[in-house]
Chain A
Amino acid sequence: MLDLINVSYDTQIPNNVNLSSDKKVLKALEKWHPGYINWWNDLIPQNFQESMVYLRTAVSVDPKGWAKFDYVKMPEYRWGVLLAPAVEDRKIPMGEHLGEPAWQEVPGEYRNMLKRLIVIQGDTEPGSVEQQRFLGLTAPSLYDMRNLFQVNVEEGRHLWAMVYLLQKYFGRDGREEADDLLVRSSGSDEAPRMLGAFNEETPDWLSFFMFTYFTDRDGKMQLESLAQSGFDPLSRTCRFMLTEEAHHMFVGETGVGRTIQATLDAMNKAGITDPYDINKIRDLGVIDLPTIQKKLNLHYTLSLDLFGQEVSTNAANAFNSGIKGRYMEQRIDDDHKLQNDTYAVTSIKDGKILTEDVPALTAINMRLRDDYVRDAAGGVGRWNKMIAKSGVEFELKLPHEGFHRQIGVFSSVAVDPDGNIISADEWRNRKDDWLPTKADGDYIQSLMVPCFEPGKYASWIAAPKVGIDNKPGDFEYVKLHMA
């Protein structure tokens, strides 16, 4: 009997999809593998490649114990192909095929749409690794460095997951798309990544934490909606990816939280109560809360752009065809077809922001974005609790959805963080109050000095409350190779 829970290591590629008996796909993946390893080796600085990193590796898709921790050199990490267990008799949960058995093979009529979605999702995975490639050099601790590498190898595995689908189900076109995923590169003039946010730099660790909190959360929402897919292999793949993605969000939330904590601790110690006394606070070697708010503003809005146009034909097509659902589709109490429903979408009429009811099918992106906004608010609330507890009077806020947008209805107007439409002049005058300036970036950069001693942390970030895998505070998460 096939063991579809435990990961098989009998091929070069760990998997629970019985690769060893699927010679064609195995061959294709093995052909793709060297290019991937080259990509990885060219990407991550050499001394980190040689270092032993305490990483978790997926060994099973059983929710109770799916990973084991051990030291491993990143290039030797066992990237694999893992699908969540099949749900028996799974039915297509939405759209015009609602209730029909989920597809185990790609339906011809949706081949292109499915392929495009998988390629776009796949393109983000290596994109973020590329954006984060130099962060190891300025890691504020070995704990954080390990988390960075964990995120990186898992993004790498997510790339594998998408590549597997392309190789297995999309024939020669799929193989070519898989190759192209290694051709495009973040920020490249030659062949940039497909989505804007994945071509932005991740210049410092606070950016990394904001990215994992806000931008990876977009990834989570996308994976959640692809997990609803009527194409069962995609659904199963995304379901498993979500278990890994949760760790990325954890890194983001705790990373920002620990940055805030260090600031609060330093302010309290120095007796500073005014969070806007920026110069004094910066003299303490921590990042002032207003600057953290600016970074939040930037990353949150870049992430909102990833949801695309509020009213979208592509999203409508994908939903109706049963390719991509909504967040928590099963828990939504409606007919899951949406052919006669409407959904409120923001729009701008005569210089005013208002909402309009549009056919719900075309508002799938907007709905997912609304869900995202709610989801993203949770961590912000927890950060604010930390701030309140310290006695400092300051509150972090998610800016209005119209603020600093490049895509969608708001891209043509300037909106302040409170949601007022303002003139282009006013925007120019005030944008430095709302978004990180070069000087802010330079200051943060000046704090980015490596701290590689086990159990020690850079000045601007607090120690975590608990270690990874319950390890003690001075655990050596990365055994650095010092060439």
Chain B
Amino acid sequence: MTKRIDFQVDPETYRHWKVEYDGPVANLYMDVDEKGGLFDGYELKLNSYDLGVDIELADVVQRMRFEHPEVKVVVMRSAKDKVFCAGANIRMLGGAAHAHKVNFCKFTNETRNTFEAAKADSGQNYIAAVRGACAGGGYELALACNHIMLTDDSTSSVALPEVPLLAVLPGTGGLTRVTDKRKVRRDLADVFCSVEEGVKGKRAVDWRLVDEAIPNSKFDEAVVERAREFAAASDKPDVTHGIALTPLSRSFSDDGVSYSTVEVAIDRDARRATITIKGPGEDAPADMEAFTAKGADNWILRCARELDDAILHLRSNEDELGLIEFQTQGDPEVVIAHEALMLGNKQHWLANEVLAYWKRVLKRVDMTSRSLVAIVEHGSCFAGPLAELLWAVDRSYMMLEEFEGDNRNMATITLSDGNFGQYPMGNDLSRLETRFLGAPETVETLKPHAGRALEAGEAEELGLVTYAYDDIDWEDEVRLFMEERASFSPDAMTGMEANLRFAGPETMETRIFGRLTAWQNWIFQRPNAVGPEGALQRYGTGVRGEYNMQRV
């Protein structure tokens, strides 16, 4: 690996975005620095983006929620003349390894989802003000917003030209949001996705591709007005001050990353990373006032941020590690107490944000295409939000009864009210509901157990862990599992896990990750797109892609 991709950015050093705050309205300007690509070999012309641009965007969206709770409406627009956004940079995609393409798409998809989550979870409403060309990933950005305004200057259009131009899909939610969110009729969607130049003006409104087309001379005015209207109509409570998301304390070494609450230990020979989450070292703050004063230093927020960063780091920078093992250390009761302050104050904006952030981080774990295992040892604190990890992973192993020479506290699992719906998966079910899809009554029978530390025997019986092993079997069983896992084909693992993890109903989110992304990743492997004569490789040369016309 030549360069570590860092997911932490400082707003002071943004290269591609500007935010202007105007009371309840924030104007978010995309102004991509052509020379600011994450890698060499391409220029980010016409507001096209790469992962670096998207990392900054994700940071903007995240900070908007924690640092600017006064913002009710975010207006997304371009700072460039004549172009809103030309989408993902094609030369970057053409030059990128398959794994990078896939990670790029996953991260951008997760970031687009946070636009929608911002409204659903905390009433921060994104609207897109589109002037100039808005193509591919550019329109996908607009689609992630909840209201799209298009200038009607008889030139500006919205377009998804991926299929005719590049022989790939509008894979950052494009196809899915067109049908599932915008609810464009499927035949019209078919036309729209086949024409390079897209659709403009009134037809774009008629086809539901945008919400309004506004005469160019009145456009700026209309955008201001609409933002004001939405802000006035918002039921988001008024909050004047946010909290600062201070820089994470982390240090990288060859064999891991060390955060204040998270340790990543890498065993390269075993192709395994162990993420150990350390529970709170101090009691929960007394109330939300104390909690707010402590801000980003609170364990429950710090831990979410660090876990988030650790997962992203492993995904993008450590692709040889096929297995991620989750461990926890600490006092489960204190974890429960920290979570309880949030659950008891859900109407408080910051408690709400922290809980919603845990939801997103846990979804990030769900979406991580590595084999995931939870190892519940003595002295661990799989409680409340950390217990969710047990059902996010593919398998879990728990220590049963006392182990010789191990004087740590007996391994337990503690459920909280939070486990019954506070952190839904992409399918909109809780992890417990998804786990017990065939026996929904099981979830009900679990509820009375909330707050109790469940030891291994009981946890296994209740179906909360895969296996509970005692001192005699533990070491061998865990070792055998890990060795077996390491021997399987990584591709088959990714495919199998992604299918087994998301039981139950489809949502737009699961369709994006399960259907759109899977097809896209298939196309990303096919010569018609990525072969030397494929459209993606040939893009920009003037010579068309040559296709194998066999239908597969």
Assess the B217–A359 pair: CB atoms within 8 A: no
Assess the A191–B153 pair: CB atoms within 8 A: yes
Assess the A190–B215 pair: CB atoms within 8 A: yes
Q: Within the complex, which residue of A113, A180, A315, A364 is in contact with B154, where a contact is CB–CB below 8 Å?
A: A180
Docked complex Cα distance between A188 and B155 (Å): 12
Docked complex Cα distance between A73 and B532 (Å): 60
Is B462 at the interface (CB under 8 A from chain A)?
Answer: no
Assess the A191–B542 pair: CB atoms within 8 A: no
Assess the B153–A190 pair: CB atoms within 8 A: yes
Assess the B540–A313 pair: CB atoms within 8 A: yes
Is A184 at the interface (CB under 8 A from chain B)?
Answer: yes
Docked complex Cα distance between A320 and B543 (Å): 6
Tell me which residues across on chain B come within 8 A of A189, comparing CB atoms: 216-217
Docked complex Cα distance between A317 and B541 (Å): 7
Docked complex Cα distance between A376 and B195 (Å): 38
Assess the B541–A191 pair: CB atoms within 8 A: no
Docked complex Cα distance between A339 and B541 (Å): 9
Is A263 at the interface (CB under 8 A from chain B)?
Answer: no
Tell me which residues across on chain B come within 8 A of A194, comparing CB atoms: 155
Is B197 at the interface (CB under 8 A from chain A)?
Answer: yes
Docked complex Cα distance between A339 and B539 (Å): 14
Within the complex, the shortest CB–CB distance from A392 to chain B, in Å, comes to 42
Assess the B196–A191 pair: CB atoms within 8 A: no
Is A8 at the interface (CB under 8 A from chain B)?
Answer: no
Assess the B155–A191 pair: CB atoms within 8 A: yes
Q: Within the complex, which residue of B154, B197, B543 is in contact with A183, where a contact is CB–CB below 8 Å?
A: B154
Is B544 at the interface (CB under 8 A from chain A)?
Answer: yes
Docked complex Cα distance between A309 and B542 (Å): 14
Within the complex, the shortest CB–CB distance from A363 to chain B, in Å, comes to 10
Q: Within the complex, which residue of A180, A188, A316 is in contact with B541, where a contact is CB–CB below 8 Å?
A: A316
Interface residues on B, range: 10 to 19
Restricting to A307-338, which residues have a CB under 8 Å from any CB of B?
313, 315-317, 319-321
Considering the complex, give the chain B residue whose CB is closest to the CB of A183.
B154
Docked complex Cα distance between A116 and B165 (Å): 14
Known: A112-B196, A184-B154. A190 touches B540 (CB 8 A): no
Restricting to B530-552, which residues have a CB under 8 Å from any CB of A?
539-544
Considering the complex, give the chain A residue whose CB is closest to the CB of B194.
A112
Restricting to A164-218, which residues have a CB under 8 Å from any CB of B?
180, 183-184, 188-192, 194
Assess the A321–B544 pair: CB atoms within 8 A: yes
Docked complex Cα distance between A477 and B484 (Å): 95
Taken residue by residue from 152 to 171, chain B's Cβ proximity to chain A (1 for < 8 Å, 0 otherwise) reads as 11110000000010000000
Considering the complex, give the chain B residue whose CB is closest to the CB of A315.
B542
Within the complex, the shortest CB–CB distance from A225 to chain B, in Å, comes to 14
Known: A190-B153, A191-B216. A112 touches B164 (CB 8 A): yes
Docked complex Cα distance between A194 and B82 (Å): 10
Assess the A116–B541 pair: CB atoms within 8 A: no
Known: A183-B154, A190-B217. A313 touches B195 (CB 8 A): no
Considering the complex, give the chain B residue whose CB is closest to the CB of A361.
B542
Taken residue by residue from 102 to 137, chain A's Cβ proximity to chain B (1 for < 8 Å, 0 otherwise) reads as 000000000011011000000000000000000000
Docked complex Cα distance between A184 and B196 (Å): 21
Considering the complex, give the chain B residue whose CB is closest to the CB of A116.
B197
Assess the A362–B154 pair: CB atoms within 8 A: no
Tell me which residues across on chain B come within 8 A of A190, comparing CB atoms: 153, 215-217
Tell me which residues across on chain A come within 8 A of B152, comparing CB atoms: 191
Taken residue by residue from 343 to 366, chain A's Cβ proximity to chain B (1 for < 8 Å, 0 otherwise) reads as 000000000000000010110100
Docked complex Cα distance between A194 and B541 (Å): 25
Known: A183-B154, A184-B154, A361-B541. A112 touches B197 (CB 8 A): yes
Known: A112-B196, A189-B217, A190-B216. A184 touches B542 (CB 8 A): no
Q: Within the complex, which residue of B153, B540, B544 is in contact with A96, where a contact is CB–CB below 8 Å?
A: B544
Docked complex Cα distance between A112 and B199 (Å): 12
Q: Could you tell me how many residues of chain A have their Cβ less than 8 Å away from some Cβ of chain B?
A: 26
Assess the B543–A96 pair: CB atoms within 8 A: yes
Tell me which residues across on chain A come within 8 A of B543, comparing CB atoms: 96, 316, 320, 339, 361
Tell me which residues across on chain A come within 8 A of B197, comparing CB atoms: 112, 115-116
Tell me which residues across on chain A come within 8 A of B215, comparing CB atoms: 190
Q: Which of B152, B154, B195, B542 has the most CB of A within 10 A?
A: B542
Docked complex Cα distance between A364 and B197 (Å): 22
Tell me which residues across on chain B come within 8 A of A319, comparing CB atoms: 542
Restricting to B132-177, which residues have a CB under 8 Å from any CB of A?
152-155, 164
Tell me which residues across on chain B come within 8 A of A361, comparing CB atoms: 541-543
Considering the complex, give the chain A residue whose CB is closest to the CB of B91.
A313
Considering the complex, give the chain B residue whose CB is closest to the CB of A316.
B542
Within the complex, the shortest CB–CB distance from B200 to chain A, in Å, comes to 9
Restricting to B214-247, which residues have a CB under 8 Å from any CB of A?
215-217
Docked complex Cα distance between A239 and B196 (Å): 28
Taken residue by residue from 185 to 197, chain B's Cβ proximity to chain A (1 for < 8 Å, 0 otherwise) reads as 0000000000111
Docked complex Cα distance between A326 and B173 (Å): 40
Docked complex Cα distance between A39 and B237 (Å): 53
Within the complex, the shortest CB–CB distance from B539 to chain A, in Å, comes to 7
Within the complex, the shortest CB–CB distance from A16 to chain B, in Å, comes to 31
Assess the A320–B542 pair: CB atoms within 8 A: yes
Tell me which residues across on chain B come within 8 A of A183, comparing CB atoms: 154
Tell me which residues across on chain B come within 8 A of A112, comparing CB atoms: 164, 195-197
Docked complex Cα distance between A96 and B533 (Å): 14
Q: Within the complex, which residue of B153, B195, B540, B541 is in contact with A192, where a contact is CB–CB below 8 Å?
A: B153
Docked complex Cα distance between A317 and B164 (Å): 13
Tell me which residues across on chain B come within 8 A of A113, comparing CB atoms: 196
Within the complex, the shortest CB–CB distance from B472 to chain A, in Å, comes to 66
Tell me which residues across on chain B come within 8 A of A339, comparing CB atoms: 543
Considering the complex, give the chain A residue whose CB is closest to the CB of B543.
A320
Considering the complex, give the chain A residue whose CB is closest to the CB of B164.
A112
Within the complex, the shortest CB–CB distance from B547 to chain A, in Å, comes to 11
Docked complex Cα distance between A189 and B155 (Å): 12
Q: Which of B154, B164, B197 has the most CB of A within 10 A?
A: B154
Docked complex Cα distance between A321 and B164 (Å): 14
Assess the A359–B196 pair: CB atoms within 8 A: no
Docked complex Cα distance between A198 and B153 (Å): 15
Assess the B542–A313 pair: CB atoms within 8 A: yes
Docked complex Cα distance between A362 and B541 (Å): 6
Tell me which residues across on chain A come within 8 A of B154, comparing CB atoms: 180, 183-184, 191
Considering the complex, give the chain A residue whose CB is closest to the CB of B196.
A112
Docked complex Cα distance between A321 and B152 (Å): 31
Tell me which residues across on chain B come within 8 A of A115, comparing CB atoms: 197
Docked complex Cα distance between A277 and B1 (Å): 67
Docked complex Cα distance between A313 and B217 (Å): 32
Restricting to A352-386, which residues have a CB under 8 Å from any CB of B?
359, 361-362, 364
Tell me which residues across on chain B come within 8 A of A316, comparing CB atoms: 540-543
Within the complex, the shortest CB–CB distance from B221 to chain A, in Å, comes to 12
Considering the complex, give the chain A residue whose CB is closest to the CB of B200.
A180
Tell me which residues across on chain B come within 8 A of A188, comparing CB atoms: 216
Tell me which residues across on chain B come within 8 A of A320, comparing CB atoms: 542-544
Tell me which residues across on chain B come within 8 A of A321, comparing CB atoms: 544
Considering the complex, give the chain B residue whose CB is closest to the CB of A115.
B197
Assess the B216–A362 pair: CB atoms within 8 A: no
Assess the B539–A313 pair: CB atoms within 8 A: yes
Taken residue by residue from 73 to 113, chain B's Cβ proximity to chain A (1 for < 8 Å, 0 otherwise) reads as 00000000000000000000000000000000000000000
Docked complex Cα distance between A194 and B543 (Å): 26
Assess the A362–B195 pair: CB atoms within 8 A: no
Tell me which residues across on chain A come within 8 A of B195, comparing CB atoms: 112
Considering the complex, give the chain A residue whose CB is closest to the CB of B216.
A190
Q: Identify 25 residue pairs between A and B in the complex whose beta-carbon atoms are under 8 Å apart, listed by A's number.
A: A96-B544, A112-B164, A112-B195, A112-B196, A112-B197, A180-B154, A184-B153, A189-B217, A190-B215, A191-B153, A192-B153, A194-B155, A313-B541, A316-B540, A316-B541, A316-B542, A316-B543, A317-B542, A317-B544, A319-B542, A320-B542, A320-B543, A339-B543, A361-B543, A362-B541
Residues of B within 8 A of A (CB): 152-155, 164, 195-197, 215-217, 539-544
Nearest 8 Cβ contacts at the A-B interface? A316-B542, A361-B542, A189-B217, A191-B154, A320-B542, A191-B153, A313-B540, A180-B154
| 4 more A-B residue pairs beyond the given contacts A112-B197, A359-B541, with a C-beta to C-beta distance below 8 A | A184-B155, A317-B542, A361-B542, A362-B542
